[in-house]
Structure 1
Amino acid sequence: MRQRLGLGVAILNKPDFLILDEPVNGLDPEGIVEIRKIIQELNQAHGTTILISSHLLSELSMLATRYGIIHQGKIVKEITKEELELECNSEIKLLTSDDEKTHKVLKEQGFAIQKENQQLHIIQGMREDMEKIGKSLFDKGIYIKEMSYKEEQLEEYFLDLIGGK
């Protein structure tokens, strides 16, 4: 109740800029969703700029459009959501009926490809690319035996950035 009350008091005067420190700390899942909706509404409908300080990185990834990563009291990196998505290691793994032909087709489409353990790895491949890849390979008579997607999470990116484990 304290978190909800604090947020309610903070938004009474419809501020242009709002600073929130751990806004979902101690809330149940329903409360977290409710606070997230309020924050999004404030930003999108009322144009409020919101600075959120939080250790819950997965929660931030659902709200933030820009990140400032702080370690030991210093800003280590400032990055937009789009830049973060590009920097986070993401890859598509493929096992196909013809690796050589697959490599050629996907290289022509601009994908960076490596072969490792009998699988082709498309470096910096996004989830949205999977449908395009599948269609273009099918059109060339190449059959996909396996396709998977892996993305580094915000927590992993943060720990890599600060040299954590």
Structure 2
Amino acid sequence: MNQIVSTHSLSKRYGNVFSVKEINLSVCEGDIYGFLGPNGAGKTTTLKMLLGLVRPTDGKVNIFGKELGANRRHILQNIGSLIESPSNYEHLTGLENMRVVQRLRGVPDKNVTEALRMVRLEKQKDKKVAQYSLGMKQRLGIAMAMLSFPKLLILDEPTNGLDPAGIGEMRELIKSLPQRYGMTILLSSHLLSEIEQMATSVGIIHGGTMLFQGSMEKLQARSRPSIRIKVQDHAMARELLASWGFFAKVQEDSLVLENITDSRVAQVNRDLVAANIDVLRIEEQTRNLESIFLDLTGGGNSL
């Protein structure tokens, strides 16, 4: 697939401290790329370098197959972005704010109408932004970013300020953009569960260094499923399992077996029942993105 964004050894140093160190970012056409990391990991600095808002100390940025430095104006015409908090004129209405961006972008009226509809602000468009809630301001910022229906949409914490229902709606909107409008999405977030539900590719950054980059399937493959068995007599069942060559961990009210095939699970079940131990429940446990993330980062920082 075509690479929409690629960086080579992209670094930003403030004094002797690296905010971002030798990042090789790769975002392909049609991706929803989730950029994950704790606060202060370097996510926003990286996104700002992609937009020319921060000058890299070292490294290169290529977008749409062209180097950013020499082609900045052309490249930025095809990018929409929302970095950190939305920028708007609070004394103007939502619609008037959209008109300002419309004139800058040179897009038709239908784009304004469609973008406001997509973020559910069409009924509040004539209200002054000063009267908007934080969530409404966030939705307006996303509408302004999408106004030209760009090839690349860069969003920094797009669900910030939204309530649970709004987060769900934003998730579904973002998931629809590549297919409906041909957009490629690069978004940063600290909401691991949301990234897990909508991203096709993931980059995990920690301390300014990329720890993982690849498809969501590749990341989830790092999760080693385990089998959780609930029985009436845990102590006896654990002894029997050990005598059969299975080491079971005790976890809450169950025994946990790792790296075991389906056929072996069936055999364990038969053997426990034959030994007059009632098996109450058998279930597979898979680790979620949060536990994989904590493993990669050493669990030292929360998001």
Q: Same fold (TM over 0.5)?
A: yes
Deviation string, structure 1 residues 51-73 (Cα, Å, up to 9, x no partner): 11111111111111111000111
Cα–Cα, structure 1 residues 86 and 114, in superposed 2: closer, same or farther, change >3 Å?
Answer: farther
Offset, 1:149: 2.1
SS at match of 2:221: helix
Asked whether the 8 Å contact 1:114–1:123 carries over to 2, the reply is no
Cα distance in 2 for partners of 1:124, 1:38 equals: 39
Cα–Cα, structure 1 residues 51 and 117, in superposed 2: closer, same or farther, change >3 Å?
Answer: closer
- 2:211 is the alignment partner of 1:76: yes
In structure 2, what is the equivalent of residue 106 of structure 1?
A: none
Structure with the bigger percentage of helix:
1
Cα–Cα, structure 1 residues 14 and 25, in superposed 2: closer, same or farther, change >3 Å?
Answer: same
- 2:257 is the alignment partner of 1:121: yes
Where does structure 1 lack aligned partners over 5 or more consecutive residues? 104-112, 126-132
In structure 2, what is the equivalent of residue 21 of structure 1?
A: 156
- 2:222 is the alignment partner of 1:87: yes
- 2:281 is the alignment partner of 1:149: no
SS at match of 1:87: coil
Residue number among 30, 38, 44 corresponding to 2:165 in the alignment:
30
In structure 2, what is the equivalent of residue 45 of structure 1?
A: 180
Larger radius of gyration: 2
Offset, 1:79: 2.2
Where does structure 2 lack aligned partners over 5 or more consecutive residues? 1-135, 232-239
Cα distance in 2 for partners of 1:124, 1:76 equals: 28
Deviation string, structure 1 residues 137-164 (Cα, Å, up to 9, x no partner): 49xx946922022222212211111112
Asked whether the 8 Å contact 1:90–1:123 carries over to 2, the reply is yes
CA RMSD of aligned residues (A): 3.1
The alignment of Structure 1 onto Structure 2 pairs a total of residues equal to 143
Partner amino acid for 1:16? K
Percent sequence identity is 39
Offset, 1:8: 0.9
